[in-house]
């Protein structure tokens, strides 16, 4: 079921400041910021040869990552994203095995314009997992 690692997401207080660090210190190619209001974040992607780093900044009063950033003001790894060939089949298989899908269990469109789901960290070794339709 699990495919390639799509990205590792790092929550930050400012994607502008974090982008400057990745560009300046590491010489990375960083995308322009994009606000994904439905998910309550502003994101940029750091392009790597084999995957991406997603830098997330809270957007709006109800941002699901605002609490995380408040507890981790220097930032920190928020989630990992894996690709799956069929997100609905993956969801159904995971639910049948006892894994908890967050939200209403229906895929939403993510920052890449593809359907995504999030899985409860307690079911995956303390790590919030995002699945993205390949």
Active site residues: 130
Query: What is residue 45's three-state secondary structure?
Result: strand
DSSP per-residue string spanning 2-34:
EEEEEEEEEE-S-HHHHHHHHHHHH--EEPPPE
Residue 59's H or E segment, with its range, is none
Phi then psi dihedrals of residue 20, to 5 deg: -60, -40
Closest by Cα among 112, 114, 109, 117 to 93: 117
With beta carbons less than 8 A apart as the criterion, state whether 59 and 41 touch.
Answer: yes
């Amino acid at each position: 079921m699990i495919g390639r690692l799509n990205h590792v997401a790092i929550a930050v207080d400012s994607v502008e400041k974090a982008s400057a660090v990745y560009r300046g210190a590491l010489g990375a190619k960083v995308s322009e910021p994009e606000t994904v209001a439905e998910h309550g974040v502003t994101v940029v992607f750091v392009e790597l040869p084999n995957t991406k780093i997603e830098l997330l900044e809270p957007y709006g009063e109800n941002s699901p990552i605002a609490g995380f950033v408040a507890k981790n003001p220097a930032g920190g790894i928020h989630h990992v994203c894996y690709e799956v060939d069929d997100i609905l089949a993956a969801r159904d298989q995971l639910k049948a095995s006892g894994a908890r899908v967050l939200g209403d269990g229906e895929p939403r469109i993510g920052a890449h314009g593809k359907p995504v789901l999030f899985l409860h960290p307690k079911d995956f070794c303390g790590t919030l997992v995002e699945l993205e339709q390949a």
